[in-house]
């Protein structure tokens, strides 16, 4: 387990996630990706699409028991995909249980 720059424990994960957001043209977008790691207050996803930084998304990862909103902190290219850093919002928090992160 690694600690992020903010000092929160990051747990490796491998769980499907669905995200949706409104792009700059006002079009609703949906993408399915993979949660790479997760902490109490955020997650790192791997997606096939770029998501604008500072946008708000709806996030669902059923395997991790999460559904809510998050803000996009960064979106960088990584091996022909995008790594997207999320900060949970609206009171969304993830609680670590030994079997929750890796199924």
Using only the alpha carbons of the chain, give its radius of gyration: 13
Q: How many domains does the chain have?
A: 1
Write out the residue range of the structural domain in which residue 61 sits: 2-89
In a domain? residue 96:
no
In a domain? residue 22:
yes
Give tens-digit pLDDT for 52-102.
999 999 999 999 999 999 999 999 999 999 999 999 998 888 987 765 554
In a domain? residue 24:
yes
User: What is the pTM (predicted TM-score) of this model?
Assistant: 0.83
pLDDT at residue 3 tops 80: no
In a domain? residue 76:
yes
> What count of other Cβ atoms lies within 10 Å of the Cβ of residue 40?
14
Tokens 């969304």 belong to residue: 92
In a domain? residue 97:
no
In a domain? residue 48:
yes
**Nearest to 78, CA basis, from 18, 34, 15, 29:** 34
CATH number of 51's domain: 2.40.10.220
Tokens 């669902």 belong to residue: 60
In a domain? residue 19:
yes
> What count of other Cβ atoms lies within 10 Å of the Cβ of residue 75?
20
């Amino acid at each position: 387990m690694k600690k992020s720059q903010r000092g929160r424990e990051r747990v490796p994960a491998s769980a499907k996630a669905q995200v949706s957001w409104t792009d700059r043209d006002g079009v609703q977008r949906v993408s399915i990706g993979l949660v790479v790691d997760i902490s109490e207050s955020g997650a790192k996803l791997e997606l096939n699409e770029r998501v604008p930084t500072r946008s708000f998304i709806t996030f669902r990862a059923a395997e991790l028991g999460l559904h809510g909103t998050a803000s996009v902190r960064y979106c960088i290219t990584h091996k022909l995909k995008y790594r997207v850093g999320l900060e949970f919002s609206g009171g969304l928090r993830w609680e670590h249980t030994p079997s929750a992160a890796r199924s």
